[in-house]
A and B are shown apart, each in its own frame.
Chain A
C-alpha cells in the first residue's frame, strides 16, 4: 500500500473549546474523502485546522504537505481576491505550485511557463474568455470554476474544499466533479472535502465519513 498523503492521529479541533475529539484519518494518493455531518459540528474547523489556518488543540497531522504549495485550500466562500482578475487569482496558485517551480529553469523561463500553465488551467475550467475579468463580475458558478483552476495550477498534494459544490446547478457541479476526479486520479494527490448534499458526496468521493461520532456532546446531550 502506498504511503498516505496525510495521516491524522487523535486530532482534537476547536477554538477555545474542543468541537471534535480524537479524529483518526488516513487519505491515500488518488483518494477523495468527503466529510458529512450536521451544521455546526466542526467540519469547517477541521478543514481549517488541517490547512494550518488555526492551531490544533491536540493530536498529530503527519504528512509532507506542509511544504510551500503542498495544500490547496478552497474555503466556503472560495477565498478569491474579488477586485483582481481571473488570471491574477489563478496565478496565486501557480506561484506556489511546487512541481511547476522545480521544473523551471531561470526566472524568464518560469515567467513564460507560468503564463502557459495559468492559461491552460483557466481553459480547463472553460473560462478562457473571462481571463481578464475581475472576479466580482463573475457569477457564483464561474467563481467556483476559478477556485478550481487556482487549485489545479498549484498542483497541491492535498486539496481541502469546504462546500465548494454548493450553490451550483447540476450541470456545473457535474463538470467540476468530473474535472476534480480526473485531476486527483491523474496526479495521485488526495482530496478532503466537506459536503452537505449526501448525493453529491457519493458522486465525487471514494469514501464518506460522518463526523457526528467525533462530536463532543454537552453533558445534557450525553
Chain B
C-alpha cells in the first residue's frame, strides 16, 4: 500500500519537475519579466482599476434610450450589457444543446456503426476545433457586428463541446438496457428517447447548466470582437483606456457568474440521488451530501 502511494508521489513530483523544465524552456531561461511584476500590478490596481466607476452599475445611462424603469440600475450600461450577454448565452445554450442532443446519438459507438459515427464525430470535432472567439470573428464578417454573430458562434461551439460530452456519456451507459431494447425491436429513435436520454438525463442536465455558465463567461469575451453583450462595452472602455469602467463591468460579471453557479448547484440538487433523501435547503446545496446526510441521521 505504502509503496503504491510512494509511486504516486514520485510520478506527481516527476510531472511537476517536467512542467518547470518545459516552462523554463518556453521562456528561454529568461525569468526577468516576472521581476517586479507584482509591484506593477499593485500600481496598476491603485491608479487605473480602483475605484471602479459605480455610476456605470447604479445609474441610468443614455443607452438604452427607451428604458422606462424608474430604478437606475435597470437602465445602467453594465446591467443592460450583462442582460444582453445572458440572453445570448441562454439562446446559444438552448439551440446548441438541441443540436448536440440530435447529433450525439449518431456519434456513440454503442448506438451506430462506424460509417455513421465517423462523419458525425468529424463534424463535432470541426465545430469544436475553432474557439468560439474565432467563430465570432467569422460570423461578424458574415452577419455584421452585434449579438447575432455572438449567438451563432456560441451555438456552433456548444454543439461541438456538448456533443462530445454527450456521446462519451452515452458510450458509458450500461449495455444491458440497450441490448434489451434492441432485442425487443425498438428503433434507433425510440432507443435514444426511451432508454438513452432517461439513463443519461441527470448528466445531460449538469452539462446544460455547465454550458450556460461557460457561455455567459465566453459571451463577455466575444464582445471584444464586436459580437455584442457586455464585452462590447469592455472593448470600448479598453480602447479609450478607461480601466475604471472595465473594473465596473468585471464586478458585474463576477457577481452574475457566482449567482449562476449557485443556481446550477441548486437545480442539480433536485436530480441527484442524494437529493431524494431529504429536503433541499440552501445548506444541503452548498455542502457535500455526505455531511448533510450525517447531520440528518444525528
Contacts and interface: CB of A to CB of B under 8 A. Distances in A.
A69 B184 contact: yes
Given A75-B176, A76-B176, A81 B185 contact: no
A160 B180 CA distance: 10
Interface of A: 48, 51-53, 67-84, 88, 91-93, 95-96, 136-137, 154, 156, 160
B78 to A, nearest CB: 41
Given A53-B182, A68-B185, A81-B195, 6 more contacts: A51-B183, A69-B185, A79-B177, A81-B198, A88-B198, A137-B276
Contact of A95 (B174, B194, B199, B201): B194
Interface in B164-187: 174, 176-186
A95 B176 contact: no
Nearest to A160: B183
A123 B201 CA distance: 28
A84 B185 contact: no
B198 A92 contact: no
A196 B276 CA distance: 36
Main secondary structure of the interface of A (DSSP, over half): loop
B184 A72 contact: yes
A128 to B, nearest CB: 21
Contacts of A71: 183-185
B202 interface: yes
A186 B179 CA distance: 27
Contacts of B190: 95-96
B207 to A, nearest CB: 15
A81 B183 CA distance: 15
A77 B176 contact: yes
Listed from nearest, the 9 A-B pairs whose CB atoms lie closest are A79-B180, A68-B185, A73-B183, A51-B183, A79-B176, A84-B198, A75-B176, A53-B179, A79-B177
B273 interface: yes
Interface string B247-276: 000000000000000000000000001001
A122 to B, nearest CB: 17
19 contacts: A52-B182, A68-B184, A68-B185, A71-B184, A72-B184, A73-B183, A75-B176, A75-B180, A77-B174, A78-B180, A80-B177, A80-B180, A82-B174, A83-B202, A92-B181, A92-B186, A93-B184, A96-B184, A137-B276
A164 to B, nearest CB: 11
Contact of B185 (A79, A91, A96, A136): A96
Interface residues of B, number: 21
Contacts of A91: 194
Contacts of B182: 51-53
Nearest to A156: B184
Given A88-B194, A88-B198, A95-B194, A81 B177 contact: yes
A92 to B, nearest CB: 6
A92 B185 contact: no
A53 B201 CA distance: 25
A67 B176 CA distance: 20
Contacts of B195: 81, 92
A94 to B, nearest CB: 10
A82 B176 contact: no
Contacts of B184: 68-69, 71-73, 92-93, 96, 154, 156
Contacts of B201: 83
Contacts of B177: 79-82
Interface string B185-197: 1100010001100
Contacts of B183: 51-53, 71-73, 160
B186 A78 contact: no
Nearest to A154: B184
| Residue with the greatest number of chain B CB neighbours at <10 A, chosen from A74, A75, A78, A81 | A81
A67 B199 contact: no
Contacts of A79: 174, 176-181
B180 A74 contact: yes
B244 to A, nearest CB: 50
Contacts of B202: 83
A83 B179 contact: no
| Residue with the greatest number of chain B CB neighbours at <10 A, chosen from A69, A70, A74, A75 | A75
